[in-house]
Amino acid sequence: MNVVLGVGGGIAAYKAAELARALMRRNCVVNTVMTASATEFVQPLTFAALTGRKVITGLFDGRSPEAVLASSVEHIGVARENEVLVVAPATADLLAKFTHGLADEFLSTLYLAFAGPVVLAPAMNTNMWDHPATQANLATLRARGHRMVGPDSGDLACGTVGPGRMAEVEAIADAVLAATRRQDLSGETVLISAGPTQEAIDPVRYISNRSSGKMGYALAEAAAARGARVVLVSGPVNLPVPAGVEVVAVRSAREMRDAVMAHLEAATVIVKAAAVADYHVTEIAPQKLKKTAARLTLDLDPTPDILAEVGACKGDRLLIGFAAETQNLVAEARRKMTTKNADMVVGNLVNQAGTGFEADENEVTLVLRSGETHQIARASKRDVAHQIFDHALRLRLALHAKQ
Ligand code: CTP
């Protein structure tokens, strides 16, 4: 695999040389692009000697960025499939340039021309990291689906202690490999449920919840990108349908149950990301209920537990559930995994600012049938979706190996 290693001008630039080696150990061909200030920290010759490839520096040599890019496209393989752009260290300046689409030197120009996955390993002084400008830039870049690795916390070169140190090179190299969109779900049918359900009270009112469907839709998009046939059973949401995904629109828990069961046979992986209502109104009023001075009591009956029903007849299909919690995340996720016979439960704290319901980002804990738990750090829902599938596929291999 060809990787473009973009090196920014920070003290951590020397670690980028180790990253080049870590990538080469993973059978990557490394093409280095350095900003002008990066060359103040490390000589281009270091990377040229390590990688055996010509290094592109940040200078345009008096030519326009477009002319440099045009003449170099072949060399750095910008447009080639399955390539990754990894920027380490990603300085505050580079993050700002990427966010705003500046193309005033080679690396930021390359960023704009690059269509593949992008991995960023930020490194900077803690105050620069904490600054609202940097944090806003990071949010934009994460929303574009770029994978962030680090920064770690610790002693910084500037003498302070806090977040800002570039992540370990092995972690960055692993993220580069994970970012390549392998077609590892081709031949599979992935059945996903997403969004809330609506339980009618009368013809104009219903009981529902705050689920936006974003996580389930991100999972559908990720599965389709990895080559799966995707059937998305969706409660009422306001989201565009991801390309290539078949949608079955439903409203109530009962309708969702029937749609899921109807598509179960063909599915090899089932992801129950929907926030299903636990109760429905016992008798839906045929006409609009009229207001009176008296107290109104609604009788509610439990809805079918779709995840548990699928768990009871899933065979060797991989079943992934969700647990939306406000406390005791891991214990509750584990309990749901066991009682509903899921292979993995994605635990989601839904009372934190910026993640969970309605948010564009998420931060989840995976509880696996194998006994492991994995923490997925805050990232765009698209990125989290890919990481969920990475773990799910690994889990399935481990479970099959055991049999
Ligand atoms: N689920 C389901 N059918 C239901 C309720 C939940 O299939 N009637 C699924 C959800 O899609 C999710 C998992 O079960 O994958 C857990 O949902 P959650 O709402 O977190 O838990 P509940 O089972 O409803 O338990 P509790 O209300 O005690 O948290």
Task: Quote the pLDDT of residue 199.
Answer: 98
pLDDT of residue 284: 96
**Which residues lie closer than 8 Å to 71 by C-beta, 6 or more apart?**
none
Mutate to test the pocket of ligand 1, among 197, 306, 351 (most ligand atoms within 8 A of CB): 306
Do both 259 and 167 map to the same domain? no
Q: How far does the centroid of ligand 1 lie from the alpha carbon of residue 208, in Å?
A: 14
Q: Which atom of ligand 1 is nearest to the CA of 345?
A: 15
Cα of 300 vs centre of ligand 1, distance in Å, is 17
Averaged pLDDT for residues 71-80: 47
Per-residue pLDDT averaged across 242-269, rounded? Answer: 95
Check residue 367 and give its pLDDT.
Answer: 97
Whether residue 26 sits in one domain with residue 57: yes
- Average pLDDT, integer, range 259-282: 97
Average pLDDT of the residues in 340-362: 89
Residues 318 and 239 in one domain: yes
- Provide the percentage of residues in the chain whose pLDDT is more than 70: 93
More confident residue, 30 or 351: 30
Highest mean pLDDT among 65-74, 78-87, 158-167: 158-167
pLDDT value of residue 190: 98
**Last residue within a domain, chosen from 180, 212, 241:** 180
Same domain, 228 and 166: no
What is the model's pLDDT at position 160?
A: 77
Higher per-residue pLDDT: 95 or 182: 95
How far apart are alpha carbons 359 and 382 in whole angstroms?
A: 12
- Residue 308 CA: nearest ligand 1 atom is 7
pLDDT for position 299: 97
Lowest mean pLDDT among 201-215, 338-352, 355-369: 355-369
**What's the pLDDT at 8?**
97
Residues contacting ligand 1 via CB (< 6 Å):
253, 272, 274, 276, 278, 303, 305-307, 321-324, 336
pLDDT for 177 equals 79
Assess whether 90 and 216 both reside in one domain.
no
| Residue 144 backbone phi and psi in degrees, to 5 | -75, -5
CATH at residue 68 = 3.40.50.1950
Domain total in the chain: 2
The Cα-based distances of 363 to 76, 227, 283, 357, 380 in angstroms read: 34, 25, 38, 11, 9
Catalytic residues: 158
CB 276 within 8 A of CB 303: yes
In tens, the pLDDT along 159-182 reads 778 889 999 998 899 888 777 766
Q: Does one domain contain both 20 and 137?
A: yes
Under the banding of pLDDT at 50, 70 and 90, the label for residue 72 is: low
CATH number reported for the structural domain that contains residue 235 in this entry: 3.40.50.10300
Torsion angle in degrees (nearest 10) through CA of 144, 145, 146, 151: 110
- The answer on 16 and 117 residing in a single domain is yes
Residue 86 CA to residue 249 CA, distance in Å, equals 39
Domain termination residue (choose one: 163, 180, 197): 180
Question: Which atom of ligand 1 has the smallest separation from the CA of 322?
Answer: 15
pLDDT-derived band at 77 (thresholds 50, 70, 90) equals very low
Per-residue confidence at 301, pLDDT binned at 50, 70, 90?
very high
Distance 340 CA to ligand 1 centre (A): 9
Same domain, 236 and 105: no
Sign for the CA dihedral angle at 10, 11, 17, 22 comes to: negative
Widest CA span of the chain, in angstroms? 84
Instruction: Quote the ligand 1 centre to 332 CA distance (angstroms).
Output: 11
Per-residue model confidence as pLDDT tens digits over 106-115: 899 889 888 8
Q: Are 13 and 89 in contact (CB under 8 A)?
A: yes
Residue at which a domain ends, from 180, 215, 238: 180
Residues 200 and 171 in one domain: no
- Same-domain status, 120 and 205: no
Owning domain of residue 129:
2-180
pLDDT digits (tens, 9 = 90+) for 352-389: 888 778 888 899 999 999 989 999 988 889 889 988 99
**72 by DSSP, 3-state: which?**
helix
Does 170 lie in the same domain as 199?
no
User: Do 264 and 116 share a structural domain?
Assistant: no
